Structure 1
């Protein structure tokens, strides 16, 4: 039996905060005591907040590690281990690693090839060898505007820990990049396209959506059901798009681009997820709705770090301050994402749940991680 007691902590419980201690035993939360007592042998948290480990549903961070520069393919095992260590260092104890499925292999400057099946196999192998610090699931980003989506989805089975399948429709002029000028800035900056090459890219993507989009969308919905994964919409913009997502069975709305779409998602009991960088920066880099405006309207359920892992903790604390309810803010990165993905064994500080916890101090208002425990063992 292994036991650790974390005492003199500000416990962020599901509905409140309280001074107390948590006993971790054999990988689970064994007991919770409120009050300032310091049991013999306990670790003194010195009043710091003790939170459930953060749960990340959508991060591009692994892709950043395997391709740190355009045209650079980093050794996958090293990239996975580095990604895992980085997440533990910012308080993330469960991650749904986003991997694109659906490639464009025709002869264009913006080709992107298949990689998800190989990377997922390598990730799960490292997990089986106990080489990773935190808990990993897969998030398959199903690219509707692609040529190989159905073939790539077919390579995944129920043994692959696929927790989320999201419907990614990146048709130029729609959803995230309704403003073609902003899309041009992004794509030309990334791929070095000329004006004519960008026009060809737009025409090609629109053609793919027209020819294959409906079949790909239906196939991705079917794959989510087959894999037992939560289905997520992505970048819904209108109430009509939300209605379509609801018809597909979506339970998560990733990054709705307008308040109209966020409100429509709430009305249909679809959990709204927004990007932490949007909240921290004060707005969307694509010119879409600001996360702060949705927070003020009570339309945010879940936060995601998206492309900045450290932003997840910061955003939760910002929301706690904004709502004057730290428990509610922290729930957007713990309990709410756990519920949205059916993980009933984590996301709260409660007896019997996984002993995934983080210690957080606030220095001049900024949250600073001072410790991460995964299944009761110190991970960072």
Structure 2
């Protein structure tokens, strides 16, 4: 493998920023991260000049529905898993995401990518493709709707096959969590799936039926996951009791707690708390959830994920660094914290002995852009911008 030198940048480490820093990657591993010219004349096959930008660890995205949108960008408009996976990977590399937990929901849908068998087929296809030919690190986050008892056997098979890297428990039954009333859930179904009233009624009835078996499903799948070493998460927790319940079943990560007291309770209990980067960038939740910035400011959230919009990871990190916390702390929320939470020992920071997953970020009119992405010492993305000097703009050529 080639030796890669990234230099002339602001090197962001977990505890400090080194100006004029550099990173050397040899045989896919970081062998040096420090000040410019500390490599003592070692030669490099590839030299990438950061041009004063930031040198960061590649982002680790623990939750993103982007693959579902790539597979079905419009209701009923499907693309093959091969096309969706290939195109999404290119986008993710350009957004600085070097480890992606593709989120698939087994929610008992009758159609679309959230139908149980469809989701399982896509998961198996992605696992196979990622094993053979990939530019970034691809993992599977399987989201289980706890009322969907018919999916338990499918999930057990996927865990046994080693196709699941993170399992989360969701409960979208009206009356708690993200949908405090039946009307809230009904509006969600109408807006998202454009369903007629009779179908919405059937879904609500099935959820009530499944609620009676939800506890049994959680017990069974949590035992399977823990035996296989698969980390567990809960979703949309709305109380300390919810945190406690899932923690008893091995959950160590709470995703998108609904309110600040719940997020605080999770952190006090030693549970990691993940909030959505789009919430940071947009200034709030799309629903009735808390503002993510409030949880971060209070020290009640430690992980960022992209939720439904992968580009938001990069922008949330730099917004936080500009307004709330240090750049090292903001970067850690997208790198070292998720790596620690999900037991990823080889990625997440720019330290000797870690895998060479590195990105370069530069500001373009105050907006951060990824110009280079390296995964395991292999450059997988590079972007150059055409620059026109002010005095030349009046006489631009056709090129």
Q: TM-score range by the shorter chain?
A: over 0.9
- CA distance in 2: counterparts of 1:110 and 1:367, whole angstroms: 32
**Residues 289-298 or 197-206, more deviating:** 197-206
Take 2:246 and 2:29, find their aligned partners in 1: how far apart are those partners? 37
Q: Structure 1-normalised TM-score?
A: 0.93
Residues 243-262 of structure 1: CA deviation (Å, up to 9, x unaligned): 11111121100000011110
Report the counterpart of residue 233 of structure 2 in structure 1. 232
2 CA distance for matches of 1:204 and 1:193?
A: 15
> Is the 2:71–2:113 Cα contact (8 Å) retained in structure 1?
no
**Partner Cα separation in structure 2 for residue 266 and residue 96 of structure 1:** 22
Given that residues 169 and 235 in structure 2 are in contact (C-alpha distance below 8 angstroms), is that contact kept between their aligned partners in structure 1? yes
Is residue 124 of structure 2 the alignment partner of residue 121 of structure 1? Answer: yes
Q: CA deviation at 1:100?
A: 2.0
Counterparts in 2 of 1:81 and 1:178: CA distance versus 1, 3 Å: same
**Partners of 1:236 and 1:43 in 2: CA distance:** 44
Aligned to 1:55: 60
Distance 1:50 1:181, change over 3 A: same
Aligned ranges for residues 234-313 of structure 1 at < 5 Å?
Answer: 234-313=235-314
Return the offset for 1:197: 4.5
Cα 1:30–1:62 change in 2 (3 A) is same
CA drift at 1:334: 0.4
Q: 2:9: which partner in 1? A: 9
Calculate the TM-score normalised by the size of structure 2.
Answer: 0.89
Match runs of 1:1-380 below 5 Å: 1-19=1-19, 20-35=21-36, 42-101=47-106, 103-104=108-109, 112-130=115-133, 132-195=134-197, 197-210=199-212, 212-380=213-381
Given that residues 345 and 354 in structure 1 are in contact (C-alpha distance below 8 angstroms), is that contact kept between their aligned partners in structure 2? yes
Per-residue deviation at 1:285? Answer: 0.8
- Give a deviation string over 1:26-72, Cα, whole Å, max 9, x none: 11111123147796764321110000000011110111111121122
Report the aligned-residue RMSD.
2.2
Structure 2: distance between partners of 1:359 and 1:201: 46
CA contact (8 A) 2:32 2:352 kept: yes
SS of 1:86's partner is helix
Larger radius of gyration: 2
8 Å Cα contact 1:103-1:114 kept in structure 2? no
Cα 1:355–1:109 change in 2 (3 A) is closer
Shift of 1:129: 2.2
Q: 5+ unaligned residues in a row in structure 2: which ranges?
A: 382-399
> Which has the larger displacement, 151-160 or 342-351?
151-160
Give the whole-Å Cα distance in 2 for the aligned partners of 1:158 and 1:355: 30
Using a 3 Å threshold, how does the CA distance of structure 1 residues 281 and 179 change in structure 2: closer, same or farther? farther
Deviation at 1:159, TM superposition (A): 4.8
1:45 and 1:347 map into 2 onto residues whose CA distance is: 20
Give the secondary-structure state (helix, strand or coil) at the position aligned to 1:306. Answer: coil
Relative distance call for 1:175 and 1:5 in structure 2 (3 A) is: same
**Ranges in structure 1 where 5+ consecutive residues have no aligned partner:** none
Residue range with higher mean Cα deviation, 319-328 or 30-39: 30-39
Query: Any idea what SS the aligned residue of 2:165 has?
Result: strand
Q: 1:191 to 1:323 in 2, by over 3 A?
A: closer
Using the TM superposition, name which of 179-188 and 256-265 deviates more.
Answer: 179-188
Structure 1 residue aligned with 2:385: none
How many residues are paired up?
376
Q: 1:118 to 1:197 in 2, by over 3 A?
A: closer
Within 1, Cα distance between the matches of 2:95 and 2:114?
33
Q: Higher mean Cα deviation, 276-285 or 192-201?
A: 192-201
More displaced 10-residue stretch of structure 1: 8-17 or 150-159: 150-159
Distance 2:234 2:240 in 1: 13
Q: Displacement of 1:326 after TM fit?
A: 0.5
- Residues 254-303 of structure 1: per-residue CA shift (max 9 Å, x gap): 00001111011001110000011111111111111110111221211100
Tell me how far apart the structure 1 counterparts of residues 98 and 126 of structure 2 sit (CA, whole Å).
16
- C-alpha contact (below 8 Å) 1:7/1:37 kept by paired residues: no
